[in-house]
């Protein structure tokens, strides 16, 4: 059984909108415009114990998943800058996610960031307690609103993406699509569940100690009536979304 947090981690607002922060309300609802007063809220073993493998000692400090604070230095520098007052960090962008019967949009926040010691320009991407630092030099389309991220595709030599128009689906496949969206909405409605489903099929050194390799998303799909193993649209849809 997952450890329970004493802080609410629900990210859904008014049954329709998703925030990119750790929570929609409560102490974990902090954002760069309203940052937490201290670094205590980044010791994830204490704040978000449900993220960690049961073998991890939750009494130990884990800063953003790492037992070594210096490995999360950019994170602490970023939030320290945010505490300095209005306008820091500058040039922000964020979009609330949205849940409807026919669409699920993922929430995302992005902030300009100068990484020390070389003042390398980049962006910090934030979503439900996950942070990624990207270099501006590696993102030629970022001014046009496009960010390219690579996660790998296992042993495959080609990345295959399923494309279709939802309003052109058959009645049966439209029902499958809505079940799929309902599963995605469930994943994103809680930051702990969101984090765990993102890492549910990875085994990498940087995910050591997290609840990786659980295939939790497949379990949620089964509970949602999505037949991801059958040779039909549901399987093709699931494999396309999960191939990385």
Number of domains in the chain: 1
Residue 2 lies in a domain: no
Residue 1 lies in a domain: no
Residue 5 lies in a domain: no
DSSP state of 3: P
Residue 4 lies in a domain: no
| Intervals of the chain under pLDDT 70 | 1-5, 65, 86-91, 116-118, 150-154, 159, 205-207, 244
Domain holding 176, by residue range, is 12-242
Residue 113 lies in a domain: yes
DSSP state of 2: P
Q: Which two tokens stand for residue 211?
A: 């609840």
Tell me whether strands 108-115 and 104-105 are parallel, antiparallel or unpaired. unpaired
- Angle in degrees, CA 99, 100, 104, rounded to 5: 50
Q: List pLDDT tens digits, range 53-79.
A: 998 899 988 887 677 888 888 888 888
Residue listed under structure tokens 């009645």: 171
Residue listed under structure tokens 């609330």: 96
Residue 209 lies in a domain: yes
Q: List pLDDT tens digits, range 147-182.
A: 877 666 667 777 677 889 988 999 999 999 999 999
Q: What is the signed CA dihedral for 157, 158, 159, 165, rounded to 10 degrees?
A: -160
Stated as kind and residue range, the H or E segment containing 113 is: strand 108-115
Residue 6 lies in a domain: no
> How many residues would you count in the chain?
244
């Amino acid at each position: 059984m997952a450890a329970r947090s004493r802080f609410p981690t629900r990210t859904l607002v008014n049954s329709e909108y998703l925030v990119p922060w750790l929570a929609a309300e409560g102490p974990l609802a902090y954002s760069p415009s309203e940052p937490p007063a201290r670094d205590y809220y980044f010791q994830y073993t204490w704040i978000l114990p449900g993220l960690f493998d049961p073998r991890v000692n939750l009494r130990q400090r884990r800063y953003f998943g790492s037992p070594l604070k210096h490995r999360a230095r950019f994170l602490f520098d970023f939030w320290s800058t945010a505490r300095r007052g209005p306008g820091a960090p500058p040039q922000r962008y964020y979009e609330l996610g949205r849940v409807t019967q026919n669409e699920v949009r993922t929430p995302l926040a992005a902030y300009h960031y100068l990484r020390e010691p070389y003042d390398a320009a980049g962006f910090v991407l934030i979503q439900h307690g996950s942070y990624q630092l990207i270099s501006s030099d590696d993102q030629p389309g970022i001014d046009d609103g496009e960010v390219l991220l690579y996660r790998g595709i296992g042993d495959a030599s080609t990345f295959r993406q399923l494309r279709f128009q939802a309003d052109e689906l058959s009645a049966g496949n439209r029902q499958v699509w809505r079940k799929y969206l309902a599963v995605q909405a469930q994943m994103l409605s809680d930051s702990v569940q969101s984090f765990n489903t993102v890492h549910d099929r990875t085994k990498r050194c940087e995910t050591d100690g997290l609840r990786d390799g659980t295939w939790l998303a497949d379990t949620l799909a089964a509970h949602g009536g999505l037949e991801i193993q059958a040779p039909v649209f549901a399987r093709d849809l699931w494999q396309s979304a999960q191939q990385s």
